[in-house]
Structure 1
Amino acid sequence: MSVIDTIKEQIESNDILLYMKGTPRFPQCGFSSRASEALMSCGERFAFVNILENPDIRAELPNYANWPTFPQLWIKGELIGGCDIICEMSASGELLTLVKEAAPESDAE
């Protein structure tokens, strides 16, 4: 499987996916820390990929996404944005709404 195929599969298989440096419990940069905190405050489970442990994904994802930086939040297959956008959406309440709508439990309603 190519790196691009892996990225596509990760995005398609996870309703809420954060590509970040480190993990939500142990972020390895301030931007990833702020983004994961904003996402965790929504109270729903989300998948993440530690790009520091996946150098091929780290190299290819910016080209695939047409977004040069990390973290990157993907919801329902759509790139939402990076740290600043995630934090702005969190402050306005948009992120909570988007995450609640995308959460797997919401599908059953």
Structure 2
Amino acid sequence: MDNLIARQELNTEQQLMINAEFEKRKKSKGIAYILWLFLGSLGGHRFYAGDIGLGIGMIIVWVLGWFIFFIPTIIWAIIDLFLIGKRIDQLNEQIEAEIINKVKMLKS
């Protein structure tokens, strides 16, 4: 919602600049879910979303899982299934806000 308010102050050319840059940089929920499906236990979807620390944490849990039948890894991956969409939405809002701020700085 804040991004919509911030965009109201901009002219059409600036809006087009924001849209073009956002289309290049935005993250896809579809790709995140595919990464979760194939590399979920290794945190592939976390690395895609820029959550490097959590991705490394998932790898560590996966390695430790060899000794406890992967139960923590499976639980974490299932929980992430429900969190991926919201995380990608937050990330895209953040990316859009950064682009809007850059365009506003160019305007000044």
TM-score range, shorter chain: under 0.3
TM-score (norm 1): 0.26
TM-score (norm 2): 0.26
When you count strand as a share of all residues, which structure comes out higher? 1
The structure with the larger Rg is: 2
When you count helix as a share of all residues, which structure comes out higher? 2
